[in-house]
Chains A and B, each alone.
Chain A
Amino acid sequence: MNFNFRILPVILAGLALITGGQLQAQSKYTINGYVKDQSNGEALIGATVYIRQAATGTVTNVYGFYSLTLDPGTYTVEFSYLGYQSIEQEVVLDKNIRIDLELPLVAAQLTEVVVEADRDRENNVQSVEMSTNKLDIATIKKIPAFLGETDVLKSIQLLPGVSTVGEGASGFNVRGGSVGQNLILLDEAPVYNSSHLLGFFSVFNPDAVKDTKLYKGAIPSRYGGRLASLLDVRMKDGNNKKYEVTGGIGTIFSRLAVEGPIVKEKGSFIVAGRRSYADILARPFVELLQDGGALNFYDLTLKANYTLNAKNRVYASGYFGRDNFMFDANQGFDWGNSTATLRWNHLFNDRMFANVSAVFSNYDYALAFGEDDLDKFKWSSNIQNYMVKPEVTYFINSDNELSFGGEFTKYIFEPANALGVSDGAAIDISLPEKNTIEAAVYIGNSQKINSAIAVEYGLRYSYFGLFGAGTLYTYDNSTPGESKEVIATETFGRGEKMQTYDNLEPRLALKVQMNQRSSVKASYNRMVQYLHLISNTTASNPLDVWTPSTNNIEPELADQFTVGYFRDFGSNQDYEASIETYYRDTQNQIDYIDGAEILLNENLEADLLIGSGRAYGVELFVKKNSGKLNGWVSYTVGRTELQVEGINRGQWYPTRFDQTHNLKIAAFYDINKRWSLSSDFVFITGTPTTFPTSRYVVQGIVVPHNTNDSRNNVRIPSYHRLDLSARMEGRQFKRNGKERKFKDYWVFSVYNLYARRNPFSIYFSQQDVRTQPGTPTTTQATQLSIIGTIVPSVSYNFKF
């Protein structure tokens, strides 16, 4: 394996340049430490640490760590985090100081009134960050959910620029990107299929999730590998003060989580599980389920951490989930993700924070059919990752935060381990395994130039290699739009280099503060994607295949530009608003020939077409953070198109997930201490689809035909839906006035309140009858709604 490290010296030189001037600045001192939740010891991500006298500050990183380097002096340090009481501390800075702090939650009765004007210094307006949305689990739990089950991905879909092609579709689309162009990380492990039960529920157990952050643009150099977005899901560390049990009983599944200290204040764990139980309840009534059939899903999320000393902390986290659709013991379909992450946080010194993660991730699915051992078909497929990821943050001074690191991933693709048996004769129809390596090094700096201007700039160098054993095919490309003929093959031995690519990915973000309440931001980023999700169905589904770049499939590239205006308003600055525009130009986008065979096809690449894409739009977001009534409105107008030779006469056409208008409203209202209401409304323009113009008859079958050779020439009707939910807290106090340790609440929710039959697709077919020769056949169009009715549900949740 020979690596191309030509870029490394450049990065090191850059590092020396940026840091060189700072290293002598010995007259300064550092305040650092961790900010945590007082009630359970959970690290607070993104808590603000603000120095009033110096008018500067920072935010805690994903492990709750902060570091600020200042001139000697006496300062007031304010620690704050939304939903928590702020704490101020006087500090005489004449040496390096460590302050580990725990913030108390704002008491329940205060939430309605208390809003500190300057509670969140690094907020909407002040931060360099743009095109990102953070959702903490408290907000996610308030959003009315399908069948009453709180869901991370369904909540993400209420944010600007995020949409889905319909109920039951796996995944989500960001700013006109495909489902496969999102990188979903669960404690840094990539998750290849984020859905349970096709697309109805996401794989993340809300009881074990602490924080989610979606990057749609201005993506820092630390992240790469997908074009459209990055969803960073961080799991809870577990309560390190006391044992706690949380759980819920819902319509579809039940959840239970246990967390507690391993060694008090030093280490903790959390174990959280969910299982659907429709099949258990139905077993006595349905014969199929007694014969070993199954229709269920479950997942288990585990995490433990231990603080070795003031400088070292280790974490281990894991996820295991599976969906089963079994006809009987031998026939059916199942899929699931499993991930494992080991992390080590290390403080090299007061200003240098490092983390090394070792990650394993696996996604697999299996299909099996067969009457008996003489006639059966078994097929399984998987993608495995082994990843090492060192990251260092160097808090140079209060104006510069330098981060650098790398990422090294080995992927093994097994597209098909398949065996067919016909009347006892077994035939192995497996496809060869593919071995690839993806590696990257990056450097980035977040710099405050003056009180108004801040920049974040970085560079990522990524490398991709496809290694043997394997075969590379060369195709005849002369007739676009048709399956290509193989004209040459080249075979490689085990470990031999077959194809490599490398790319430089510059990232840049700029903030110019107009005044305390408004700022303008702009960004540019280049993203490169070496793995491709192959899916030519109406919606993404669990059988979709991931495939690496080859000589025929070049890495996908995206250049995204964004400009935005950010403003806070209201008497207490309790409203935040933003308007952002984006333009993304993409290259090497994949589409499919008509009738492409994407499963079990050794010559898959012969059925792929490569083209370019563009996506652009405007996103509006207004959010009210406090008060009895709070929530947000998000509106996106956008377009996403592809141009591929051989499709739509070579003209631009809208992608399957081009949805012009995308309006989401989420509102939460606290009636009193016991009751609260929440509601959301969704309006999305119908997805594009292809309608036929004509029909013709061949061998008695009526074939639909589009004489104009159009792709996605019409749209299905718009999607809109209103959901409502009410939450009733259980009694919080005992008769004697003491607070109960056992807390519980009920959630009553109604999905699709006005029972709209939202279309998922419209399909054209002939009537399902046997036509006799000489009689005409009737053709019709059918509009399908996946959930065409009102869905009420109840869930009971508890904690003790």
Chain B
Amino acid sequence: MNRILYILFGIMFLFTACEDIIDPTLEDAEPIIVFDAWISDTPGPQEIRIMLSQPYFDNTLPPGVQGATVQVTDNLGVVYDFFEDLTAPGVYRWTPALPDETLGHVGRTYTLSALVGGETFESITTMERTTPIDSITFTFDEGNSFMEDSYIGEVWARDSIGSGDAYWIKTWKNGELLSKPSEINLAYDAGFSSGGEFDGVYFIYPIRTGINPFDQDENDVFLSPYMPGDSVYVEIHSLSDAAFSFLSQVIIQTDRPGGFGELFATPLANVPTNVVNTNSNGTPAVGFFNVASVSGMGKKFVE
């Protein structure tokens, strides 16, 4: 909801508010262990990363944590071993034994356990259902003072009947993942959040059009997201309720509107985690574990 407002106010007032990049001193903090464990049933190997947190202004790649033992087990006792990639510190990989083997089944519960430096970390999640993509369409929008003549992409997918489904719609334009915080496109049923009660219908318009990269030129005019000849690939990843809530809060904390939109922004706060140290007095961890079922569709835009 707030995202729309940010755009509204951002556009109207950006020209009067002014911003400076500053370099404030921050409190020191010990590094903590970070789990980036988002695995799915897409064909091919699956990766889990274990890293350390960095001081906020440390603009290097996060250090990987080596020498951990990482396993994912489902509630029927199937074990998936993630082996350390010795050339890429912190990366642990499961590789299918057979070419068509994938990780996970909808409805099963998965437990991540990792032994890191003598401490055991655990996380439990369930693989939820996803929903298929019907089609991807493009419509022409005449430009205005803020925007060029544009082709707007729209992904058509219908939320599965029954409330409580959560999805992460990921988009690749010409092979490049739309990875900005403002491009995280989430759906709870067919709407923005659990209170919305949009169930069993097509995703609402802002979600359907959440597959568009809105880049600006040097005059702050928005460029057409897609042009004839572009290709787009969209995947819908299922999310657990907790993962949806995690990503929603990641958006709040990372997709800063800037300008007058900051009047509507919430103050900085920590986002939750579902990874716990089995020893409650041990080192805390952050990060998230989700096992997704995935649907996908690609399209090349021809006029």
Contact = CB atoms under 8 A, between A and B. Distances in A.
Interface of A: 168-169, 198-199, 286-288, 295, 325, 327, 332-333, 367, 369-371, 375-377, 420, 422-423, 425, 427, 429, 482-483, 536-539, 541, 543, 594-597, 599-603, 656, 689-714, 757, 760-766, 768-772, 774-789
A784 B145 CA distance: 25
Interface residues of B, number: 87
Contacts of A369: 4, 206
Nearest to B190: A422
Contact of B269 (A287, A420, A594, A694): A594
Contacts of B53: 694-696, 705, 707
Contacts of A594: 249, 269-272
A516 B269 CA distance: 55
Given A696-B51, A766-B181, A708 B27 contact: yes
B263 A198 contact: yes
A638 B1 CA distance: 36
B57 A600 contact: no
A661 to B, nearest CB: 20
Q: Is the interface of A mostly helix, strand, loop or mixed?
A: loop
A377 B203 CA distance: 13
Contact of A760 (B12, B24, B32, B262): B262
B17 A287 contact: no
Contacts of B22: 762, 781-783
Nearest to A540: B263
17 contacts: A375-B204, A425-B202, A601-B195, A603-B195, A656-B267, A693-B28, A698-B38, A698-B287, A704-B56, A762-B22, A764-B256, A765-B258, A769-B180, A781-B24, A782-B258, A785-B20, A787-B17
A779 B57 contact: yes
A694 B55 contact: yes
> Which of A198, A781, A785 has most chain B Cβ within 10 Å?
A781
A764 B20 CA distance: 12
Contacts of B34: 696-698
B213 to A, nearest CB: 8
B90 to A, nearest CB: 10
Contacts of A780: 21, 57
Contacts of B72: none
B19 interface: yes
Interface string B34-48: 101010000000000
B264 interface: yes
B26 A692 contact: yes
A14 B268 CA distance: 53
A538 B250 contact: no
A785 B262 CA distance: 10
Given A287-B144, A325-B12, A770 B180 contact: yes
B289 to A, nearest CB: 10
B28 A763 contact: no
B276 interface: no
B248 to A, nearest CB: 7
A482 B241 CA distance: 14
Interface in B85-108: none
Interface stretch (B58-66, B112-120, B123-131, B226-234): B58-66
A691 B263 contact: no
A602 B8 CA distance: 25
A751 to B, nearest CB: 13
Interface stretch (B74-82, B171-179, B294-302): B171-179
Contacts of B181: 701, 765-766
B20 A783 contact: yes
B262 A694 contact: no
Contacts of A762: 22, 24
A691 B18 CA distance: 20
Interface in B194-217: 195-199, 201-206
Interface in B2-29: 2, 4-5, 8, 12, 16-24, 26-29
B204 A763 contact: no
7 interchain residue pairs of minimum CB distance: A693-B29, A707-B29, A788-B18, A594-B269, A375-B205, A595-B249, A425-B201
B270 A696 contact: no
Given A169-B263, A762-B22, A420 B59 contact: no
Interface string B218-255: 00000000000000000000000000010011101110
Given A198-B263, A295-B12, A690-B267, A757 B20 contact: yes
A703 B254 contact: yes
A286 B270 contact: no
Contacts of A288: 144-146
Contact of B59 (A367, A599, A761, A778): A778
A458 to B, nearest CB: 39
Contacts of B178: 770
A765 B201 contact: no
A210 to B, nearest CB: 32
Contacts of B51: 696-697
Contacts of A295: 12
B153 interface: no
